[in-house]
Amino acid sequence: MKIRNIDLGEQPVVLAPMEDVTDPAFRLMCKRFGADMVYTEFVSADALIRSVNKTMAKLNIDEQERPVAIQIYGRDVATMVEAAKIVEEAKPDILDLNFGCPVKRVAGKGAGAGMLQNIPLMLEITKAVVDAVKIPVTVKTRLGWDHDHRIIVDLAEQLQDCGIEALTVHGRTRAQMYTGEADWTLIGDIKKNPRIHIPIIGNGDVTTPQRAKECFDKYGVDGIMIGRASFGRPWIFKEVKHYLETGEELPALSFDWKMEVLRQQVIDSVNLLDERRGILHVRRHLANSPMFKGIPNFKETRIAMLRTETVKDLFSILDYIKGNYAI
């Protein structure tokens, strides 16, 4: 799969843009485990043009994480165009437009998935941004606003006509948020459209290597995107890539090995930010790691993890888990 001259190889698996998750440290870790491309946290166009420090910091890219896409969101043409030019100066490989975020503070103001209620404006913004920058522009969106307005098959053509060079579709509507199951049927229908020539990346509920292969085989997508399944489990990329390449499951990764990965995630987060902010950022991802699901009487330990404020305390809990729950 290629996005312009960026070759992501056969059946690429990419890391989704996720607020408060895909910072440089986490992106690099997922890259090391096999992610073929990574996306930044989404960036507010309004905040960018106001040079808000916290927002500008999201543009920082490590050369080792390439290819990397910076994703922006906004609700008017002029702001999105100006923000796109600022992003281009940060030299990402790709600029992605977020027309899919369903949360109220974004979609409720007309940005993100809110654009699914104003397709003419979405297309106007897309065309203007494509014309304003030299780097490839891509889009991430959803099936539609709600079940009665699942417009993605027609919308994909319209976005392609605006000049985007890849499209990622999450298999839910905005109304669904993250509930229910992702429906990839319409994503497959996009690929069946003979007019579509840009890469189509599917997203939503890819949580196992077997599901990843099924999505490629059944729906014909060019790539898949993994989001929430990477929480506390960045090695999912290693598992998925191995299965796609060999048809066999990766030999089981030991509990101790996974615990060391989580420790490294803590260290990376603290090094990127500082101890307090690094712990606040990473602790909820560790506490929600799927490797702890199903462990009897784990609730109190999880609560303790969510209350830690120092590396020492968090590592003490990880030591306790390793000594009492290792399987």
Active site residues: 101
- Are the C-beta atoms of 308 and 314 separated by less than 8 Å? yes
CA of 290: how far to CAs of 33, 206, 316, in Å? 17, 14, 20
Residue written as token pair 């500008």? 56
**Would you report the helix, strand and coil content of the chain in percent, each value rounded to 5?**
50, 15, 35
Q: Give, to the nearest 10 degrees, the angle between helix 77-89 and helix 119-132.
A: 30
Residue written as token pair 């799969």? 1
- Are the C-beta atoms of 170 and 198 separated by less than 8 Å? no
Q: Under DSSP, is residue 240 helix (H, G, I), strand (E, B) or coil? A: helix
Burial bucket for residue 271 (CB in 10 Å: 0-12, 13-18, 19+):
exposed
Q: How many residues does the chain have?
A: 327
Q: What is the rounded (10 degree) CA torsion for 74, 79, 81, 86?
A: -90
The distance in angstroms from the start CA to the end CA of the chain is: 39
DSSP string of 12-62, one letter each residue = -EEEPP-TTT--HHHHHHHHHTT-SEEEPPPEEHHHHHTT-HHHHGGG---
